[in-house]
């Protein structure tokens, strides 16, 4: 990790107005790439994840090279902590270190929104862009192709308990 070694500070802040934030829209969810690793010098990535009612979500998985944190802004998000599903509501937080099994979903009849923080700033935007392209094209992947895609993006599926 690098630290600032100067003695006077510097003008280096990055402001991103809402119009500059890339959005990946899917039928059941929307990802706002608020601060991908490419904008934070790889230190972290911050996405806003908005889900429609009964949107579901990814199955249980883990990452080898980055931690992931979830902060619920609104609605109810079901979070899997590797052991059990919990009903998370506005203000609730889940931290998942590298290797930690987790998942999330919206099973409620209401919209839900959360912040997802990746540290360090893994290029997760590429994963979500690729999933959107697959969905938009209608392309069907084999089990082996899914496994390869997940591995390329440091995502490893596990059976849920």
Question: Which DSSP string do the residues of 79-101 spell out, in sequence order?
Answer: EE-SS-EEEEETT-EEEE-TT--
CATH topology of domain 21-157: Jelly Rolls (2.60.120)
Q: Considering Cα of 91, then 96, then 97, then 98, what sign does the dihedral take?
A: negative
Over 60: is that where the pLDDT of 161 sits? Answer: no
Four-CA torsion 144, 146, 151, 157, nearest 10 degrees: -100
* Whether pLDDT at 1 is above 80: no
Spatial separation of the C-alpha atoms in residues 86 and 115, rounded to whole Å: 17
**What average pLDDT does this structure show over 29-37?**
96
141: CB partners within 8 A, 6+ apart: 134, 149
Q: Which helix (H) or strand (E) holds 131?
A: helix 124-137
160 pLDDT higher than 70: no
pLDDT of residue 129: 92
């Amino acid at each position: 990790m690098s630290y600032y070694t100067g003695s006077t500070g510097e003008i280096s802040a990055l402001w991103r107005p809402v119009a500059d934030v890339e959005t990946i829209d899917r039928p059941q969810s929307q990802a706002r790439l608020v601060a991908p690793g490419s904008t934070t010098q790889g230190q972290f990535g911050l996405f806003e994840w908005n889900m429609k009612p009964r949107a579901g979500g990814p199955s249980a998985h883990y990452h080898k090279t980055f931690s992931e944190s979830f902060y619920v802004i609104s609605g109810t998000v079901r979070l899997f902590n590797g052991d059990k599903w919990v009903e998370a509501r506005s203000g609730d937080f889940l931290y998942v270190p590298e290797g930690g099994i987790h998942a999330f979903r919206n099973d409620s009849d209401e919209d839900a929104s959360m912040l997802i923080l990746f540290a360090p700033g893994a290029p997760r935007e590429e994963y979500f862009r690729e999933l959107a392209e697959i969905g938009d094209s209608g392309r069907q992947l084999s089990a082996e192709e899914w496994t390869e895609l997940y591995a390329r993006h440091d995502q490893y599926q596990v059976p849920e308990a």
